[in-house]
Amino acid sequence: MKKLLLAGFLIAFQSLQSQDLIQHIPQNSSIILEVNVPKILEALPLTEFENSDIGKELLKTLSEVFESRITSLTDIGINTNFSQYIFMVDKGNNIEFVYLLPLTNANLIQQKMEQNQNKIINESGYNKVYHYDPITTINWNESLLSIVINMKIDEYGGLPDTGNSSSNYLSKISSTITNNTSFNKHKTKSKETAVNFWMGNLSDNISSLIKFDKKTGSLIATPNLIKNLYNDYKSFSLNLYFEEKETRITTAMEFSPEYSKTLKKTFKHRFNKDLFNYVDIDNSLAYFSNNIDTEEALKQNLRYLDEKVIPNTAESSYKEEMSLGITLISTLLDEEAIGEIIKGDFLFVLSGISEREVEYTTYTYDSSFNRLPVVKTKMEKVPDFIAMASTGENKLLPKTISYLESKNFIENQSGYYKINAGTEVPFDYYFMIKNDIIFLGTSRSQFQNIVNGSYVPRVSSKSKKEILKGHTTFYIGIGKAQNYISKEDFSSEKEYNKILDLIMNTPDIFFSAKKIRGNTATSSLLFMTPEGYKNGLEYIMSFIDKLSK
Amino acid sequence: MLLTSCFDVIDEVTMHEDGSGEFLLTVNMSKSKTKLTSIMLLDSIKGFRVPSKEEINANINNWVEFLENSQGISNVKKTTDFNEFIFTLGFSFLSVENINQAIEKIVIKNKQSTESFNLRYEFNPIKKEFSRHYTPNNADKNRYDKLDQEDKTIFNEAVYVSIVRFNNEVANCTNKKAVISKSGKAVMIRTFASNIFAGNQNLSNTIQLK
């Protein structure tokens, strides 16, 4: 059974156009995963997949499962012209997980079921087989196969009496998920995806999932608590695209209008564009930006704790005290003053790798081989980074700096400070406050140039736009590291070539979490396809092949 | 960083005419201090747990305590320098036999096989002959062979130095790798740690004094 399920799931790599099986998915489905097989095969033709290591392994497994030599995925009878679906239907006392896939012919499935001496029940127009642990029904007709896992838990965590009540999902229905506005919105946007996922009301789903999880027994009693806590989280959707230049994952999280307002206030802060004057993002190995309104974030989070979390989670006898505590914290914290010190925009840039001279102790020996310590120097490669945050505070920070200087924690270097961090940290750190920006970094020359006003920033308009639009963004460009390594850094040429190959075949990664629009927060994660590959999927398959060797 | 690290291990024996002497073991990882400082900030690396400074100190203190309670051994001293990553452990001995006994006890304490009794010192004051008997240990070799290539390179660059000093001049010694100092009163063997683990380096030496 397990092998058959596994085989079924793996086949999802293969199949597609649209005898859209969506017409079989009921309106009360709350989680839907679509594997758009034709789209996947567009990126990676079936024969190429079958010749990859994963493909070969899959064909081998399928041959074992079906006890017949399977040379192509089409041999099994899966229709690769249509999408396959996995979905969850909450029926109140039980939950059904369904795997629905189209067939070109059902002969092999029928044959397999007969071979395994399963009791095949012939219903009108379809056949079915039961398994009891977990309760699973496998249904098929000439053009469709559905595997329905029925999870039912009574209040004592026992198994249900029978699984006979499962639906077969082989027929089109009138009341389908397409009546759900949130799903339709997702579906419209997910046409070009290879895989897409949609979850209806998150709070409902979380409580349903917890309800039947025997292992988390202690939570069974409290689905309402979880439901209330996640009440502001509505639908969630994810799309995966394999495109020529990139593999893209986008997500959309819908919140309640009330919570969206809270988040909008937190994210309404404007990113300080002056931060772009002090960095070279175009040649950087990585960057990370974050932008929130610190003052609003503190206020809103405390309010949210007081109004939402405590009433829903605290023991009723302590609710008043906890609420009082939050009010007290809110009174003591001066959110505005904190928001002045750290306004909320932050930019970290891993600029590159630089060389620095490092002293080390070794020994020479005199004419009697007495050991004499000598200090030598060598060049070491160290990462260079700079981190910046806006500030509007001009009383506390200067005082703090004077104090740190008087206590020798920092050393004035005419315009900037060297942090005396001792040997606890492997690099030298520099620090300064200039033009209402707090700087912390490792490159002395960068600090000197910023102080002298001779620093030349390099930030493309594309990077600027991304950072300004998102509340959190990051970029990792491992490929650029090839400019910073040389054969001398490695113990052998083989080792060097191995690392170089790895670096050059690692995709650049971009992430951006956008500010909320309407009630929805979106994010995107891009993996750029390295040179020499047709598209993202081909790259991933080749990467997995390499890993398995 | 991917740079290879390296370290030096130096053992020094200073022999007096009456057979007593001093022993000093130095582990100098100064050349890799940037890397080690970074590693010390981690909990584990490549599946190996990184010990804290406190744990390293406690371990060294255990050795000190063990040696202080060993027969014929006195004046036990240690130094730990976490800035340069240089550690030393030294002691005085009445006879080289006291070092042999301590090694034996360590082997028994660590429940290692008898094969681990692979280092023995001898000194004959009448014949004026000092010997060090070393047999490569198969267990060490097996452990070394199992390391991946990248980890092996650490030992390829690590240097092991053994020095024996005397009051009298050295007439000759049996190990071809051994070098006699200009003063004629000390002998040094210098090799890469990888040669020792791989069993390629003979560390045994019999030194005849004039």
Of residues B197 and B64, the one with the higher pLDDT is: B64
Domain for residue A493, yes or no? no
Q: Is A365 on the interface with B (CB under 8 A)?
A: yes
A79-94: average pLDDT: 86
Q: What is the mean pLDDT of chain A?
A: 83
Q: Are residues A435 and A320 in the same domain?
A: no
Domain for residue A320, yes or no? yes
Domain for residue B51, yes or no? yes
Distance from CA of A429 to the nearest CA of B (A): 14
Of residues B149 and A448, the one with the higher pLDDT is: A448
pLDDT at A159: 46
pLDDT at A416: 93
- A7-21, B73-87, B178-192: segment of lowest average pLDDT: A7-21
Q: Are residues A355 and A316 in the same domain?
A: no
Of residues A106 and A474, the one with the higher pLDDT is: A474
pLDDT at A496: 83
ipTM above 0.90, yes or no: no
Contact B47, B103 (CB under 8 A): no
pLDDT at A326 over 70: yes
Domain for residue A157, yes or no? yes
- What ranges in A44-150 are assigned the alpha helix state H? 46-51, 53-66, 107-115
Which one of A365, A377, A485 would you mutate to disrupt binding with B, by most B Cβ within 10 Å of its Cβ? A365
Q: Are residues A55 and A112 in the same domain?
A: yes
pLDDT at A170 over 60: yes
Please say which residue of A175, A198, A221 terminates a domain.
A198
Residue B99: both structure tokens together: 């070092």
Cα–Cα distance measured from residue B176 to residue B179, given in angstroms and rounded to the nearest whole number: 8
pLDDT at B155 over 90: no
Q: Are residues A300 and A327 in the same domain?
A: yes
pLDDT band at A232 (very low <50, low <70, confident <90, very high): confident
pLDDT at B119 over 90: no
Q: Are residues A51 and A120 in the same domain?
A: yes
Distance from CA of A532 to the nearest CA of B (A): 26
Name the most confidently modeled range: A331-335, A544-548, B168-172.
B168-172
pLDDT at A68 over 80: no
B39-49: average pLDDT: 79
- A132-146, A467-481, B180-194: segment of lowest average pLDDT: A132-146
pLDDT band at A298 (very low <50, low <70, confident <90, very high): confident
pLDDT band at A315 (very low <50, low <70, confident <90, very high): low
Q: Domain range holding A380?
A: 346-476
pTM of the prediction? 0.74
pLDDT at A17: 36
Q: Is A238 helix (H, G, I), strand (E, B) or coil?
A: strand
- A168-182, A218-232, A256-270, B133-147: segment of lowest average pLDDT: A218-232
A116-141: average pLDDT: 82
**What total of structural domains would you count in chain A?**
3
Residue A501: both structure tokens together: 């190959």
pLDDT band at A87 (very low <50, low <70, confident <90, very high): very high
Cα–Cα distance measured from residue B63 to residue B52, given in angstroms and rounded to the nearest whole number: 17
B50-71: average pLDDT: 91
pLDDT at A18: 41
pLDDT at A77 over 50: yes
Domain for residue B175, yes or no? no
Q: Is A489 on the interface with B (CB under 8 A)?
A: yes
Q: Are residues A193 and A123 in the same domain?
A: yes
A59-65: average pLDDT: 82
Q: Are residues A102 and A138 in the same domain?
A: yes
Domain for residue A102, yes or no? yes
Residue pLDDT, tens place only, A403-455: 999 988 899 998 899 988 766 666 788 999 999 999 999 999 999 999 999 99
Domain for residue B102, yes or no? yes
A388-401: average pLDDT: 87
Name the most confidently modeled range: A96-110, A222-236, A517-531.
A517-531
pLDDT at A347 over 90: yes
pLDDT at B112: 59
Closest CA to B22 of B203, B204, B165: B165
- CA nearest B170 in A: which residue? A368
pLDDT at A151: 76
Residue pLDDT, tens place only, B10-26: 999 999 999 999 999 99
Burial class (CB in 10 A: 0-12, 13-18, 19+), A388: buried
Smallest Cβ distance to A367: which of B35, B181, B187?
Answer: B181
CB spacing of A365 vs B188 below 8 angstroms: yes
Domain for residue B11, yes or no? no
Residue B120: both structure tokens together: 């023995």
pLDDT band at B1 (very low <50, low <70, confident <90, very high): very low
CB spacing of A368 vs B26 below 8 angstroms: no
> Can you give the C-alpha Rg of chain A in angstroms?
30
Distance from CA of B22 to the nearest CA of A (A): 13
B101-118: average pLDDT: 71
pLDDT at A98 over 60: yes
A81-99: average pLDDT: 87
**Number of CB pairs < 8 Å for A and B?**
77
Q: Are residues A41 and A178 in the same domain?
A: yes
Domain for residue A439, yes or no? yes
pLDDT at B36: 85
Q: Are residues A70 and A194 in the same domain?
A: yes
Phi then psi for residue A339, to 5 deg, are -65, -20
Phi then psi for residue A35, to 5 deg, are -105, 110
Of residues A494 and A514, the one with the higher pLDDT is: A514
Percent of chain A scored above 70 by pLDDT?
85
CB spacing of A423 vs B82 below 8 angstroms: yes
Residue tagged 């202080």 (tokens):
B68
Q: Are residues A59 and A105 in the same domain?
A: yes
CB spacing of B26 vs A423 below 8 angstroms: no
**What total of structural domains would you count in chain B?**
1
B131-158: average pLDDT: 78
Distance from CA of A490 to the nearest CA of B (A): 6
Percent of chain A scored above 90 by pLDDT?
32
pLDDT at B139 over 80: no
CB spacing of B1 vs A424 below 8 angstroms: no
pLDDT at B173: 93
pLDDT band at B188 (very low <50, low <70, confident <90, very high): very high
Domain for residue B193, yes or no? no
- Dihedral (Cα; A272, A276, A282, A285), 10-degree rounding: -70
Q: Which residues of A66-100 are buried (b: 16+ CB within 10 A; e: fewer)?
A: beeebeebeebbbbbebbbbbbbbbeeebbbbbbb
Domain for residue A449, yes or no? yes
> Tell me, what DSSP letter sits at residue A366?
-
Q: Is B156 helix (H, G, I), strand (E, B) or coil?
A: helix
Contact A111, A24 (CB under 8 A): no
Domain for residue A424, yes or no? yes
- What ranges in A12-52 are assigned the alpha helix state H? 37-43, 46-51
Domain for residue B38, yes or no? yes
pLDDT band at A220 (very low <50, low <70, confident <90, very high): very low
Q: Domain range holding B26?
A: 17-108
Of residues B116 and B186, the one with the higher pLDDT is: B186
Give B-chain residues touching A365 at CB under 8 angstroms.
Answer: 163, 181, 188
Of residues B120 and A394, the one with the higher pLDDT is: B120
pLDDT at A277: 95
Please say which residue of A284, A306, A339 terminates a domain.
A339
CB spacing of A380 vs B1 below 8 angstroms: yes
B38-53: average pLDDT: 81
pLDDT at B96: 94
Domain for residue B26, yes or no? yes
pLDDT at A217: 42
Which one of A361, A382, A497 would you mutate to disrupt binding with B, by most B Cβ within 10 Å of its Cβ? A361
Q: Are residues A183 and A312 in the same domain?
A: no
Residue pLDDT, tens place only, A105-114: 888 888 877 8
pLDDT at A3 over 80: no
CB spacing of B37 vs A371 below 8 angstroms: no
Q: Is A192 on the interface with B (CB under 8 A)?
A: no
pLDDT at A153: 55
Of residues A201 and A278, the one with the higher pLDDT is: A278
CATH of residue B95's domain is 3.30.70
Q: Are residues A176 and A303 in the same domain?
A: no
pLDDT at B106: 78
Domain for residue A389, yes or no? yes
Give A-chain residues touching B31 at CB under 8 angstroms.
Answer: 360, 362, 378
Of residues B154 and A430, the one with the higher pLDDT is: A430
Please say which residue of A430, A456, A476 terminates a domain.
A476
Name beta bridge partners: B12.
B24, B163
Smallest Cβ distance to B31: which of A362, A426, A485?
Answer: A362
pLDDT at A93 over 80: no
pLDDT at B69: 92
